Structure 1
Amino acid sequence: MSFTRRTFLAGAGTGVSVLVLTACTVDAEPSPTPTPTRTATGVVPVPRATARSNWGADSFARGSTSYMTVGSTLEHREALRVPVDDRVFFAGEATSTDNPGTVVGAQRSGNLAAAALADAGDSSEKVAIIGAGAAGSEAARVLTLRGYSVSVIEARSRVGGRIHSVSGKAWPFPIELGAFRLSPLRDADVLDALGRLDVATVSLDSAEDGTVYRSATGESATDPVSPAALATALDWAQSQSRDQSVDSSLTASGAEQTVIGATAGELDGPGLLAQHLAYLATVYGADGADLSSWYTADSVDTPTVVTGGFSEIVSDSLEGVETYLSTTVVGVSYTDERVSLRLGTGESLTVDRVLVTVPLGVLQDDSIEFDPLLPFSHRTAIASLAMGTVDTVWLRFDEPFWTTDAVVWNLVGTDDEVTTWYNLEPVTGEAILVGVVGGEAAERVQLLDDDELVDRLLTTLAPFAG
């Protein structure tokens, strides 16, 4: 099947959701961090509770989401999902051509892979699924309904992969250290499923005030210039014979020049464009210097936020399915008759067919050894696609210290790493801020310990304080 660039953009350009799955390696995963003990700094009080993710440093994921870099194509995603000898199957957001990098893309890939596996075999066979994230759990659900004996093997001590819900006394509702933003249009099926499970969600569109842009001095404005500049650059790129990065397209198209000298109140055009690209990095996990102009959408809609335990959608699909936690797969050997899985414990498991749902970053890291090597087309796809990082930090305060009721905050013209924030107070009644960071800024944040990060964030948030 072939997809055009614009077909891809139509699917990928509506909304945001951070990716989900799981890998099969052995290091630590993101977890809540204790609230540092210190006194208030400046005008921003110390948060009552904090939690952060760190997906780039997590060997179960090696990043948050795959993205299209210059030179990668939709055919690479298609090649990655082609079964090998009808024994080794692949699923996950990296194999999705219409919704990569999303929960719905992962789920649908699991559904498609399960159908392909079922068509190749029969229900008397034994099947192993590597990974208990969105793709793996959906595939397990489908295959179980079709009568297959399914074993799900998960490296983590929990299910969900990069859907990671955390509950505790410090938080008034389950918080999400992975996927938590959903598009009302694109993710309608996921939202319907969450509704059936009584998992709470809130639409940021329900707030009276939407998005605010604010400088370090506290000046606020809207942004009429950077969305138009990016749209111009990406439209121009579509007519070029060769793909190039978003940053290059902004320059070569002349779109970047249009923001120079432009202002919105006290905010200048270049600063607004820089923040617009920083926000884009929280969607794709990469900066404009790395993103393909052919496969990057110029806008995203205001998301719906999950506040009731996103991981329930995975747990529900795995109900009654044999699932092994804290079990890594380090090798997959296959013939035209069977598949042997080598576990991290040194043991092995023989099955008729296997479905691999680990993230692209784990495949790129060679955490699983394939014998024989995967076909050249698969190896080319793995090398050509890219893995990006999006991280979140949750802060809960005793009471709001901020002076705006806007639910989406953008900090303009600063050197701060975390410049995109979600204010959940207007839609939940709780004084909770969620910072989101992607690309190189996420890599810099990754190097900070918990105290250093909180100290920086107190300074970052000062322009929003009264």
Structure 2
Amino acid sequence: MSFTRRTFLIGAGSGVSLLVLTACTIDPKPDPSPTPTRTTTGLVPAPAAMERSAWGDDTLARGSVSYMAVGSTMEHREALGSALIDRVFFAGEATSTTNPGTVLGAQLTGNRAADEVTAASDPSERIAIIGAGAAGAEAARVLALRGFDVVVIEARKRVGGRVATVVATDWPFPVELGAWRLSPVTDGDVIAALEQLDVSTVSLDGAAQVFRSPTGETDSDPVSSTAMSTALQWAQGQQRDQSLDDSLDQSGALQTASEYSSGEVLGDELLLQHLASLATIYGADGSELSSWFTVDDTQPSTLVTGGMTRVVAESLEGVETFLSTTVVGVSYNERRVSLRLGTGESLSVDRAIVTVPLGVLQHDGIDFDPLLPFSHRTAIASLGMGTVDAVWLRFDEPFWTTDAVIWNLVGTDDLVTTWFNLEPLTGEPVLVGLVGGDDATRFELLNDDELTAALRETLAPFAS
């Protein structure tokens, strides 16, 4: 079962809600009322500047973050990170069993791979690192400090990988199109490193949020967290893993949520928007996410506004790095590793660390000879690779009438329903929209003019 804003399916599951939603401060669901006419886009000016990502369409990423698909396990992540005859090593957030999907998780796996290389070799050896993202940069930093001859090979024209900072004169601060939302629980060390580099961040602690629908508005969602807790708790008692959507349905949480509202905002609409926000974390919809491994955490506490890429670039300082150089093949034996480059040339090294995103491996972006072991291939096929896209809009002056920092659009067919209003935090009229899962795929199909028109309509309710 898959839930969408266009068709909200109330399944016939026989499960009973484990947690009672009536304990929330919510009102009975009101009688349906006609949907008011949408505010015209004339109230929303064309943005003065726009930047957008397209991670799903990026052949060097094929997505933005790994996630636990139904049936996948942490053993798959561990298997993906295991070395090949102590010659080829793997790192990256997809190989993390403690902090998957995070910058810190990527860095920790880079450190782990560096330790594995150190244990298997001596500093006279030449080590190639494929990828200059957070994992590759950390591995390079550690090995260089230990005296190894290190070379980093990066297919992009820049370092950072899925940490992507855009610096332009028509923006008041760097634009982050990749990782930029951090939590002290999962990214504490990254936040500390940013502080040491004097990279500015803004805190969302206590930030106001708003949920706005065609029928009303509320500043809280008392329904979704309880529904999610019910579903995830119910799933833990099942014999087999299943999707988050199925657990919401079969646990009874979905039907219970549909019977309540917060003011004039309907409970089922709030839950759908909660799932849309969750998709901007995992990059996947509830129909794809594992109920056993999904954590219901949609609100970061810190946003980076001073250049996230600096935390990667700092680690590569002084390390030989080749940009715009693609590795398309890795051949290995008990003596050497040969890297086949996109130019047709080859590079021979003693050992190599592969840090390319899971999506690249899933699309056979690198040809391994001999073929990867079955355990690696199983892991690559079992884990999910999701897409989270961002769109940054700068206006000459605010057109909106709310001081809320976090905006949630509910009960609409709009693609981008999760927004951050940076004006109260930075003083600049900048809005950042996030979209994940299937909506991100549709988002990427729109050209800039089509997207601008769609977003002006999306944002129109905040101008009224």
Asked if these proteins are the same fold (TM beyond 0.5), I'd say: yes
Find the aligned partners of 1:373 and 1:337 in 2 and give their Cα distance: 17
Question: What displacement does 1:217 show?
Answer: 5.0
Query: What is the letter of the counterpart of residue 94 of structure 1?
Result: A
Compared with structure 1, are the counterparts of its residues 352 and 91 closer, same or farther at alpha carbon in structure 2 (3 Å cutoff)?
Answer: same
In the alignment, does 2:369 pair up with 1:371?
A: yes
- Gapped runs of 5+ residues in structure 1? 1-39
Query: Pairwise CA RMSD of aligned residues?
Result: 1.1
Aligned residues: 425
Find the aligned partners of 1:318 and 1:218 in 2 and give their Cα distance: 50
Contact 2:66 2:385 in 1 (8 A): yes
Q: What does 1:315-330 correspond to in 2, within 5 Å?
A: 315-330=313-328
Question: What displacement does 1:302 show?
Answer: 3.4
Corresponding residue number in structure 1 for 2:19: none
Contact 2:210 2:217 in 1 (8 A): no
Corresponding residue number in structure 2 for 1:260: 258
Q: Which secondary structure does the structure 1 equivalent of 2:205 belong to?
A: helix
TM-score normalised to the size of structure 2? Answer: 0.90
Corresponding residue number in structure 1 for 2:164: 164
Question: What displacement does 1:299 show?
Answer: 2.6
Question: What displacement does 1:218 show?
Answer: 5.5
Q: Which secondary structure does the structure 2 equivalent of 1:42 belong to?
A: helix
Contact 1:221 1:264 in 2 (8 A): no
Find the aligned partners of 1:275 and 1:231 in 2 and give their Cα distance: 16
User: Residue by residue, what CA displacement relative to the aligned partner does 1:150-189 show, whole Å, maximum 9, x if unpaired?
Assistant: 0000000000011111111110011101111001222110
User: Residue by residue, what CA displacement relative to the aligned partner does 1:71-120 show, whole Å, maximum 9, x if unpaired?
Assistant: 11000000011100000000000000111111111011101111111111
Query: What is the letter of the counterpart of residue 43 of structure 2?
Result: V
Q: What does 1:163-202 correspond to in 2, within 5 Å?
A: 163-202=163-202
TM-score normalised to the size of structure 1? Answer: 0.90
Contact 2:213 2:411 in 1 (8 A): yes
User: Residue by residue, what CA displacement relative to the aligned partner does 1:107-142 show, whole Å, maximum 9, x if unpaired?
Assistant: 111011111111111111000000000000000000
Contact 2:89 2:354 in 1 (8 A): yes
Find the aligned partners of 2:214 and 2:388 in 1 and give their Cα distance: 23
Question: What displacement does 1:427 show?
Answer: 0.7
Find the aligned partners of 2:369 and 2:308 in 1 and give their Cα distance: 36
Contact 1:221 1:267 in 2 (8 A): no
Q: What does 1:297-446 correspond to in 2, within 5 Å?
A: 297-446=295-444
Find the aligned partners of 1:321 and 1:216 in 2 and give their Cα distance: 54
Contact 1:227 1:299 in 2 (8 A): no
Corresponding residue number in structure 1 for 2:110: 110
User: Residue by residue, what CA displacement relative to the aligned partner does 1:336-368 show, whole Å, maximum 9, x if unpaired?
Assistant: 010000001111000000000000000011111
Contact 2:215 2:265 in 1 (8 A): no
Query: What is the letter of the counterpart of residue 184 of structure 2?
Result: P
Find the aligned partners of 2:356 and 2:255 in 1 and give their Cα distance: 42
Q: Which secondary structure does the structure 1 equivalent of 2:71 belong to?
A: coil
- Gapped runs of 5+ residues in structure 2? 1-39
Percent identity over the alignment is: 68
Question: What displacement does 1:220 show?
Answer: 3.3
Corresponding residue number in structure 2 for 1:134: 134
User: Residue by residue, what CA displacement relative to the aligned partner does 1:297-351 show, whole Å, maximum 9, x if unpaired?
Assistant: 1234433110001111111000000000000000000000100000011110000
Contact 1:155 1:325 in 2 (8 A): yes
In the alignment, does 2:61 pair up with 1:67?
A: no
Corresponding residue number in structure 1 for 2:58: 58
In the alignment, does 2:212 pair up with 1:214?
A: yes
In the alignment, does 2:74 pair up with 1:100?
A: no
Query: What is the letter of the counterpart of residue 223 of structure 2?
Result: V
Contact 1:329 1:344 in 2 (8 A): yes
